[in-house]
Amino acid sequence: MARPQQAGETKAPVVIALAFFVLTTLALGVLTYMSYDQLALAKANTKKAEEDAKAATKLRSEDQDLARVYKVALGIHTQEEFDSLKATTNKEVVRTEYTNLMDGIKNKLSGTPQAPGGLLTEAQKQFVGGGGIVFDVAPKDVISWIWPANADMDREPDKTILAAIVNSYAQRKLGELQLIKNAKELNDVKQAYVDSTVRAKAEEGVFKTEAAKYPEQVKTIQTDANKSVDDIRTTYKDSTNRYLKDLRDKQAVADQKDVNITQLQAQVESFKARVNSLEAQLELKEDPFAFDKPHGKILRRKGNIVDIDLGSADNVRTGLTFSVQPADTPDRGLASRIRPKKDATGRDVVEYGPDGKPHKLMEIVPKGTIEVIEVLGPNISQCRIVSESSSIREGILVSDVLYNAAWRKGSADHVALFGVFDIDGDGIDDIKQVVRDLNRMGVVVDAYFNLETKKWEGKLTEQTIYAIEGYYPSQGSVDALAGAKSALDLALREAKTQCKEKGAKVVKIRDFFPRIGYRVKLDISGDTINRAYNRYLSVVPVNEAEAPK
């Protein structure tokens, strides 16, 4: 409850206090407003100062990058400065400055449409003296700095402005030194010319002096020379007469010796021909297997299979072949089995002997041939019939006897081969196959004559019993390969001689293979044999046949 106003009291203090409060509140409000306004202004000024600082920093960074561009272009930068330029954030500014720099150099050198000519005017492009030589400076001669578009800067200039200046100065100094050198050489040449002229004049004086003496000297020399020529002619004439007389005497003696040599050579050739003829006739008449004996006999036959009385105790092996003859052959002799050789048409085969006369070619005809397919025991083996001359008239029977000229019980004979062995008539030499087949059959091949190298493969020994003679090349009347064939013929005949010297019996294909039961085609034509020889007609020089040591 308010206290009642007493008499004499006033409200002035309250009013004053209230007025003071209001005024104070207004003052504080005004002061607070002014304080916030100043704070906002201060913040704005601070922000502006920061933005100005950033702009100034950016400008400073750009200016530093631009300075680096020019330092790199000049070639006075450090690696740290180039690395900073590569990593700059002001790439566009740097790219623009790089472009302006390169274009500025180009325009300054070559000019622009607004200011043609540049530093290189037409007068500066010509060397003094002309000659069509153009003096020019390309931008790459001033600075070579490649910065591909749309790519980061990754390489320093190949040539800086400073390097171009130094190089230009060096070239100029080199030119000056060369000019000095050329001038010196020119002066030396001039001096040499002057010296030569002086010497020439001196020599000219000497020459004129000597030339005045020349006619008399020539006359004296000519007189002496004529006398010497006369003496030489006399001596030459006497010597020539003596020489001609001696020559006539010696020629007469030489002619007589040539006649004697020719006669002796003719006798030697005649003896050689006679020896060859006799050897050939002997070969035709002599049977190299005259003393062949049967090795075994047929025990039984069943179809195409036969059993024989030879086995492991006799050193029989699979692949061994035998020719089969009738049971009475040992009594009658192999000569009873000799028949005229027939060709494919059934006609007798004719061979011309050393006397030039035709002779029927004879051969021993077996009843057939067999090949060992299994060794069953010490004295029994199983064989298959390889061929049979006539199963009806002359089939292979029990008790028929077995022949193999190159095989002995318990061992095999040693053989050698020379010549071409075309066993199937296809025009190809099969000598290596024959060697393999004979070895497989148990026949020991000591050596064969290699027609490619003209040398023996293997070694001839005293144990070589037979030398199997293959085919020789034949020559026509006009034969481009006559020389090569003759060389092969000589090599084969030398090989044959070497076999004989070792004690080997020379036998022909037609005589040897039928006697061992080895099937070969014997009616080979001369053309087929020559085809087999073709591969050997261009290898290894002549006369290199060598016997094994």
**Mean per-residue pLDDT of the chain:** 81
346: left (phi over 0), alpha (psi -120 to 50) or beta: left
Q: Per-residue pLDDT for 241 more than 80?
A: yes
CATH of 292-404, one of 1.10.10.60, 3.40.50.300, 2.40.10.410, 3.40.50.720: 2.40.10.410
Paired strand residues for 298: 308
pLDDT of 410 over the 90 cut? no
Contacts of 547 (CB under 8 A, 6+ apart): 456, 460, 495, 498, 501
Q: Which has the minimum average pLDDT: 280-284, 340-344, 440-444?
A: 280-284
122: confidence class by pLDDT, cuts 50, 70, 90: low
Which residues fall within 8 angstroms of residue 312, CB to CB, at 6 or more apart?
Answer: 375, 377, 378
Under the banding of pLDDT at 50, 70 and 90, the label for residue 467 is very high
Point out which residues pair with 351 in neighbouring strands.
359
> What whole-number distance in Å separates Cα of residue 432 and Cα of residue 150?
76
Tokens describing residue 481:
């390969």
Helix residue ranges per DSSP H, 286-393: 329-332
Q: Which amino acid is at 418?
A: F
> How would DSSP label each residue in 473-535?
----SS-TTHHHHHHHHHHHHHHHHHHHHTTPEEEEHHHHHHHHT--------HHHHHHHHGG
Query: Could you give the residue range(s) of every CATH 2.40.10.410 domain in the chain?
Result: 292-404
What the block records as the tokens of 538 is 């261009």
Measured between alpha carbons, how far is 85 from 154 in angstroms, rounded to an integer?
10
Instruction: Report DSSP state, residue 34.
Output: H
Whether 37 shows a pLDDT value over 80: the answer reads no
In three-state secondary structure terms, 268 is helix
This prediction has a pTM of 0.39
Secondary structure letter of residue 314 according to DSSP: G
- Percent above pLDDT 70 for the chain: 83
**Span 209-227, pLDDT tens digits:** 877 877 877 778 878 888 8
According to DSSP, the residues that pair with 352 across neighbouring strands are 358
pLDDT at 360 over 80: no
Q: How far apart are CA 67 and CA 72, in angstroms?
A: 9
How far is 277 from 267, CA to CA, in rounded Å? 15
Type and span of the H or E element at 270: helix 161-285
Helices and strands: H and E segment counts in the chain:
10, 17
Residue 313 has what DSSP assignment? Answer: G
Q: Token pair 């020529």 is at which residue?
A: 229
Identify the residue whose tokens are 């000024």: 45
For the chain, the first-to-last Cα distance in angstroms comes to 164
Residue 53: the pLDDT is 83
- pLDDT for 448 equals 95
Alpha-helical runs (H) found in 75-130: 79-86, 91-110
Q: State the amino acid at position 197 in one-letter form.
A: T
The helix (H) or strand (E) run that includes residue 434 is: helix 431-441
The one-letter amino acid code at 117 reads G
Yes or no: say if 465 and 408 are a contact pair by the CB < 8 Å rule.
Answer: no
